Structure formats: structure tokens, C-alpha cells
A and B are shown apart, each in its own frame.
Chain A
Amino acid sequence: MSEKGMNLTLKIWRQKNATSKGKIETYKVADISEHMSFLEMMDVLNEQLINEGQEPIAFDHDCREGICGMCSLHINGEAHGPDRGVTTCQLHMRMFNDGDTIYIEPFRAKAFPVIKDLIIDRTAFDRIQHAGGFVSVNTSGNTQDANALPIPKADADKAFDAATCIGCGACVASCKNASAMLYVSAKVSQFSLLPQGKVEAKDRVLNMVEQMDKEGFGNCTNTGACEVECPKGISLENIARMNSEYLKASITKEA
């Protein structure tokens, strides 16, 4: 194991707040270990900036193990950077080379306005969930026994795969239309594959799609970029399933 100790040039989007105009600033970091995560490299830069009396770069992050969905970043034009199947916090510096210039920008979409620097507002995603991302069951302790309703393993597994969406927004950021179809379809699919979700399936898909449109996300034109960049490998199949659910619901909707 050789320590590379990389020197890098970073071109980073700085923006004071939601209303101000942002621009790309250039920074240098030296002696970056290949074992660092990308965000640890950002920590090094921020420590450097603080020591120079400058404001550190604001970016979202929390769990740093690829599951909370808080981190974002467009790195060299790709959501979550060049590696596949990972979030930015799991991206490691071994993916880069000494002397590289790296462009770091926030996820770009009309529905994801910038709050500061690399931090964006993704509450539009929450509002879509408020519109129907649930099964209407109260907490009681008196629901039926969990094993009273067997669910075919294949359905349960597919529902699980859809449910692993972390709500990071990479799909939106990667889509030329800034469409949120992959995100919305993941939740619609999870519930449409399970008997618990079937009762409200029609209202769910109609309401969630309506909210998605209201938030200003674009339409899906099946380019598939979302699936490629999704850190959790959420499949395009879910979009097909949602389209079919939506069509069914639209046709059979009672007036």
C-alpha cells in the first residue's frame, strides 16, 4: 500500500444565501490520502479555510455511511461523483489522481433551490410524501398478527428494493428534465407490491404525482440517467410500474 498524497485543485460553488448570486471559487488542497472519503477531503479544506480565517464551505452530510441521504454534491458533473452505487460520503479519494481538478457543485433543479454554497432545499420531496407516501393505519397494538398475511417472497423483495431509496435527489440532479419520477415511483412501487398498500393505491399514485408536478419537477423522457446515478440502484422498472398504476387509477377513478 503506497500513500499517494495527492495535490488537488478544487473548483467549488460558493453562494452566500438563497437570494445571492453564486460563483465558482478555486481552492487547493495538498497531501490528500487515497483512503480518505471525499467528505473527509472537504473537512481538510474546511479546516484549512477556518485556520485562514475564511468561511468554510457549507455542505450537507450526516451519517457518512451512505444511508441517511443527507449528502449530495455534483462532482465533475455527476451526482455523488464518479463511482457507482455510492453516495458522496462513501466516495473515496482513490477514485482521483494527483494533480486532478475537481468541480464541486450543488444538485441543480428548480425544485431544489440552493440555501447556501452546496446545501440545497429538498423539502419538495417531503411534501410529495405528505400527499400519499403512507398506509393509513393508526398505532394501536391491535393490528393483525404480522404472519397472518403471508406475502410472496418475490413481492416482498421487490418492495424492499424499491423501499431502499434514501431520498437524496441524485435522480433529479442527473435528469435533464429534473424529473422526480424515480423517487416517487420507488414509494408508489413499494406500496403497490404489498397487500397493505393496495387499498389506497389509486389515491396514492394520483395525489403523489399531482404534488410532484406542483413542486416543479420535470417530466420523464426515459433517458435512464437517474438509474445510472442512483446510489441505491433503484430500478427504472419502478417508473414503469408507477405509470401503469397511474394509468389504471386515472381510468377507473370515480368522479
Chain B
Amino acid sequence: MSVLDSKIPEGPIKDKWTNHKNKINVVNPANKRLIDVIVVGTGLAGGAAAASLAEMGYAVKAFCFQDSPRRAHSIAAQGGINAAKNYQNDGDSVYRLFYDTVKGGDYRGREANVYRLAEVSANIIDQCVAQGVPFAREYGGLLDNRSFGGVLVSRTFYAKGQTGQQLLLGAYSAMNRQIGKGKIKMYNRHEMLDVVVVDGKARGIIARNLITGSIERHSAHAVVVASGGYGNVFFLSTNAMGSNATAAWKIHKKGAFFANPCYTQIHPTCIPRSGDYQSKLTLMSESLRNDGRIWVPKNMEDVEAIRSGKKKPIDLSEDERDYYLERRYPAFGNLVPRDVASRAAKERCDAGYGVNQTGEAVFLDFASAIQRYGKEAATVNHEPNATKERIIELGAEVIKNKYGNLFQMYEKIVDQNPYKTPMMIYPAVHYTMGGIWVDYNLMTTIPGCYAAGEANFSDHGANRLGASALMQGLADGYFVLPYTIGDYLADEIRTGPIPTDSPEFDAAEKDVRGIIDTLMNIKGTKSVDHFHKQLGKVMWDNVGMARNAQGLEEAQTKIRQIREEFWKDLRIPGEANELNTELEKAIRVADFLELGELFAKDALHRNESCGGHFREESVELDGEQKGEAKRDDDNFKYVAAWEWTGDPGESKLHKEDLEFKDIELKTRSYK
């Protein structure tokens, strides 16, 4: 019997959430005022949770490391948010969204959680519209939808290429209403550096005020960690510079199991890197695959001619181009899921067909979409004799309305006009499906400590579908956590305020101060970035898009070496009791250096290919799926939840078996 109890409610899957909500304990309004809840992180999950909990009457303290809760990295999500509204009447339903998400996750997610996600998805859109989120609309005034990868219906709601921004500003506005009322106390420029556990329950956090450097104690009856994913373990990713795993890693070290760390999403459409100075990578939304066609030249001579500038991509005729996704996956074409698209790009580039100087780029081409839209627009405008140029002009206008900000972003970074020449793209680390293990109530293995949004592991299995991260963040924050947390807090009404002068708070503060003092006193010779880049290189080379046993073992050794070197030779100028950006980074990278090793260990133990985790040893050898990733349900149909034992290399594995009662386990095919 596993120590993990997922607490999945009994009953048919479609009734689980309703029944659970009906039976769950609730706290009466007068008592809610006496209960404190800490929320760490103010992205979609944290912001939505903080606002909802405060509306319900709890006394909320919210923390973010940025200068305002509005800056959390959810803001950078571009393409859209899924919801089973079936406004397009294309056969969508809660079941279909559930099915697509489980299949897209390569059957490594928890059915009950995913069903609930699909079930509340429609409420999210209603809620956001009520808040004044300006989603894209059709001329009739109703909401518009678009398609995303891995699905055959159009269920994605969007606000140009800035959906995350608009949704986050919606959650931020809901927070502001509560901050104005004094129901949320907001701590900007604060970073959580430890969780305080008293009598086995999460009772508060230790946070550093990033302006003054002072170490603060904050107590609460429950702690919600919604601090996002850990993609920055790769140094280069589409995450924000400050995105970090510290809050999640600290609760892990205090008893929260870390699940499936090796499930990482490498997003197929990012702007390729240009040099060693590169500080981050920029995503080009997956929504572009609605209209963009991905290709490389068929012939090696053309590849070389393009690289050397002798030929331009537009010089190549249709039959000189290899639209490899359309060729390999005729059913889904350019809209295959992200993991499949990324591996296919890598396959072409490894074979030598990469189209830029580094050999790591493929084309994303809008020429045919511009033609198609241009012709449509000419018809609508009654311009039967429109010239070729006029059609292109009209088509470009349509594309601009859909993706204008993305095209502008691309042009500013690359200095090429994507309306005229195809974009160059390459996969980059984008999202982490793995994260803190939680039960159906989103509680971690520390009682009273919850994890929401990208920080938890629960819904996306081994691969997340596009436009589902926003859905999950808001579902957790608005519609799941506010209910489930009541079940726990109902037993806390007699507890009274949690004192911060207990021995547990003393000890946690002492630990945090100890780590900071140690870091400041290394007084070595190398910057934090030096070590972070080294870690990132090992992660990308050995634990990236394709992994094998030898490389993973090597990665563990190398990461340990980098970690030792870090603690011996790090240099942090300045003092700890002031604003010190290098110290902030050092604390985060110290955690990445541990997490990275567990990541590699998890990837090594999972000797199967599933979703974003591709093991070279596990591929289909024949049949229609030849060369595709091979899952091993007999041996790996479980969640790997790791328990901290003092050393990331020695972490203890616990398994939560995944049951598939409502969806038949089968090989994922997008052919």
C-alpha cells in the first residue's frame, strides 16, 4: 500500500466533483475572518486563489517577488485558454476536453483531476467575462474561438496573442478589490525562503523582504504554494528571468513529495538562440500553428544555400520543401501536440536540415494562410479582380489582426519581417508538467500545505496541451482550492492565531539565515550566472529533448560537481541586508542545483518514453508507429513521487498507480 492517498472521491467520474463539494466541510463566515491563509505567487493560480479566498472571508496574505502581483509570468502566456463551451457546435463536450487532455498527456495524468478541470473550464470563461476580460469577439458580438495542437475542435478562447495578460489582469483586478478592502495583505518584493511546519502542519513561512533584506516570519492556518514551474533549471527557457522553484523546493525539503520532475515541455515554436550572451528564449505562440506551416528544404543543397544567404526561403518552390509534420502526421498535420512537433523538428535538424547558422531552426511559414485569407477577404469586399499584391495585402491584414503582437515581437528580436519571409523557430523549454505531488484536494503531503497551478503535478500528465495551462491555473485558483481548502480549515476554527515566536519559527528562520550567511561568505570568484549556465548546459545536453541512460547518469555526476563548485567558489558582491539581486539569484540557483539532480534521477528511472519524456531506448521498432515514442504501461503507469531524504541523489521513490476507468489506455496516435 502506497503512503500516497490521492483521496479521489467515489462514484462515477462525472459526479465525483459535485458529490465531493456537497460533502465537503465548510467554514462559517464568522469563523473565516479568524483564519489566515498565505498564498505564495500571484500568477493565475495564486492570484485567483488569493482573490477567491478573500472574497469568501478568509484573511489572506499574498506574496510575490516582483514589484506588483500583475507581473507574474502567467502574463506572458500568449495563445489562449481552453473551455468546453461548444460555442462552435463542433462536437465539443466536457468529456472530449477530458479525453483530449488525458490522451495529450500520454495517459500519465490522474483521470479524476482532469475530468474536474474539464468540468469547471466553462465557468472560467463566464467568470472572466464577468470581470471585464476583453476576449476576442466576432462581428456578431459573441466570443471567438481558435484551434490548438492535439485536438480536433475549436475550443480556445483568446485575446489576440495576449490571453495570459488579460486573464492575469482579471485576477489582479479581483485581488485589487480585496486589497482595497483590506482582505488581502499584499507583500510585493518578498520571496518565500522556507515553510514552517508545526506539529506536522504547515503554519507559516519565512520570507525575505527583497528591498531591505530583512527576514520575516508570517504565520497562517494554511499555506498555498502557487509559485509556478521550474523550467529555469535549464537556464535558457521561455520562463521569466525571476521564475524559480525555491518555494516549491523548500516545501519539498520539509516533506512535500515532488512528482514526475522529468516531465518537461519543450515547446516547438520558439525563436532560436542567437549567441552565448542569450539570457532567455521567446515563445511564438502555438496558435501560430493554426495558420503557419512548418517546413525545411528537401534537398541539402538548398539548406546550404539558405544558410549561406545565396538563396532565400521564398525562392524554394513547393516541391523543394518538406512539410515534415504534414508528411508524417496527415491527420493532425501542423497541429500535432507539442512534444511530437518538437521531436520532429529535432529529428530534421539532427539530420542536418536546420535552416540557420547554428543548424537549429526550421521555418514556420504564413504565405499560404496569407493567400487564403486574402482571397476570402477579397470575396467579402467584392473585389473579384483583386491583384496578387492586393490579395497579399488583405491577407496580411487578417494575420495582423490575429497575431499582430507576435509578429511585431519576432521582428524586433530577429530583425526580419515575418509577413514577407517565413519565421525561424526551434524548440525551447517552456513548461513543467511535473511538480509538487497533491491529492484531489490539491493538498501536498504536508497537511495544510497546498500547491496550485504549474507548481503542482496533477493535470497534464507527461505532456500539456496548448491553452491548458491558463485553464488549470484559473481552475485551481478560482474553482477548486477555495472549496477544498475549507475541508481542512473547518478543523482549524478553534486554533486561534498562530504565534510566530515558537521554536519551529525560530529554527526555520535560523536555517534561512544560515543559508544566506554561508552564501555571502563563500567569497569565491565566479558569478551565479556562471554556475547557472553550466547547469543549464548539462540539463539541455543530457536531460533535454532526447534522453538515454548513459547521459542521465553522467548528468547526475556533473550536476553534483557543479553544485560542489558553486558552494566553494561563488561570489556575491554587496551585503545581505540590502537589495541584492545576486543573492536573490544565488538562493534560487542553489535550489535548481538540487532539483536538477532529482530531475535527471527521475528521467533515468523512467525507462519509457511518454509525452515530453523521450528515452532513446524506448521507441516503436515497427508498424505504423515506427520511430515514435514507446510508452510502457506495464511498468510505468504510475506517478513517481519523490521524498526528500537529505540528498537529491538519495531521494526515495513512492508510486501512485494511475487507474484508467473512463478512458481506454492505448497508444497515442496523431497519424
Contact = CB atoms under 8 A, between A and B. Distances in A.
B426 interface: no
B67 A122 contact: yes
Interface string A27-54: 0000001011101100110010111011
Given A64-B241, A68-B75, A160 B159 contact: yes
A194 interface: yes
Given A33-B275, A40-B279, A62 B242 contact: yes
A163 B242 CA distance: 24
Interface string B134-155: 1111111111000000000000
B529 interface: yes
A90 B412 contact: yes
B173 A134 contact: yes
A67 B574 CA distance: 30
Given A17-B578, A62-B242, A63-B73, A135 B131 contact: yes
Contacts of B280: 64-65
Contacts of B123: 141
B592 to A, nearest CB: 17
A17 B130 CA distance: 42
A62 B238 CA distance: 11
Contacts of B128: 146
A125 B68 contact: yes
B382 to A, nearest CB: 21
B571 A151 contact: no
A251 interface: no
A254 interface: no
Q: Which interface class (under 10, 10 to 19, 20 to 34, 35 or more) fits A?
A: 35 or more
B366 interface: no
Contact of B131 (A1, A54, A65, A137): A137
Interface stretch (B48-56, B461-469, B514-522): B48-56
B482 interface: yes
Contact of A144 (B126, B240, B415, B571): B126
B166 A66 contact: no
Most buried by A among B67, B127, B140, B582: B67
Given A36-B277, A92-B412, A146-B125, A135 B173 contact: yes
Contacts of B85: 146-147
Interface stretch (B174-182, B196-204, B641-649): B174-182
Contacts of A141: 120, 123, 126-127, 478-479
A50 to B, nearest CB: 4
Given A40-B277, A64-B240, A122-B68, 9 more contacts: A47-B529, A58-B579, A62-B241, A64-B282, A65-B280, A66-B409, A129-B173, A130-B179, A139-B48
B338 to A, nearest CB: 18
Nearest to B523: A53
A139 B66 contact: no
B126 A17 contact: no
A65 B123 CA distance: 30
B2 interface: no
B412 A190 contact: no
Interface of A: 1, 16-17, 33, 35-37, 39-40, 43-44, 47, 49-51, 53-56, 58, 60-70, 83, 85-86, 90, 92, 94, 115-116, 119, 121-123, 125-126, 129-141, 143-147, 149-153, 156-157, 159-160, 163-164, 166-167, 190-191, 194, 196-197
A49 B141 CA distance: 55
B67 A60 contact: yes
Contacts of A16: 578
B126 A146 contact: yes
Contact of B52 (A39, A49, A126, A139): A139
B573 A53 contact: yes
25 contacts: A1-B309, A33-B274, A44-B277, A49-B573, A56-B573, A62-B73, A66-B412, A67-B162, A68-B71, A92-B412, A92-B415, A126-B69, A129-B172, A129-B176, A130-B176, A139-B479, A139-B482, A141-B123, A141-B126, A143-B127, A150-B141, A156-B137, A163-B159, A167-B68, A196-B131
Contacts of A49: 573
Given A61-B241, A146-B143, A151 B137 contact: yes
B188 interface: yes
Nearest to A60: B67
Interface string B217-250: 0000000000000000000000011100000000
Contacts of A54: 573
Interface size class of B (residues with CB under 8 A): 35 or more
B240 A63 contact: yes
Given A17-B578, A143-B130, A156-B137, A164 B277 contact: no
Contacts, number: 218
B165 interface: yes
A125 to B, nearest CB: 7
B165 A67 contact: yes
A58 B581 contact: yes
Contacts of A190: 132, 134
A213 to B, nearest CB: 17
Contacts of B177: 130, 134, 136
Contacts of A131: 180
Nearest to A94: B415
Nearest to B188: A123
A115 B579 contact: yes
Nearest to A125: B68
A163 B136 CA distance: 12
A190 B125 CA distance: 18
A222 to B, nearest CB: 26
A19 to B, nearest CB: 12
B84 to A, nearest CB: 13
A139 B51 contact: yes
B211 interface: yes
A71 to B, nearest CB: 10
B241 A139 contact: no
B160 interface: yes
Given A62-B71, A139-B127, A160-B160, A134 B141 contact: no
A122 B189 CA distance: 11
B169 interface: yes
Given A54-B573, A64-B280, A135 B578 contact: no
Contacts of B211: 115-116
A123 B573 contact: no
Contact of B134 (A40, A126, A129, A194): A194
A145 B527 CA distance: 53
B214 to A, nearest CB: 13
Contacts of B127: 137, 139-141, 143
A55 B139 contact: no
B538 interface: no
Given A164-B165, A196-B129, A139 B579 contact: no
Nearest to B144: A153
Interface string B49-91: 0011001000000000011111111011000000001010000
A51 B569 CA distance: 12
Contacts of B415: 35, 92, 94
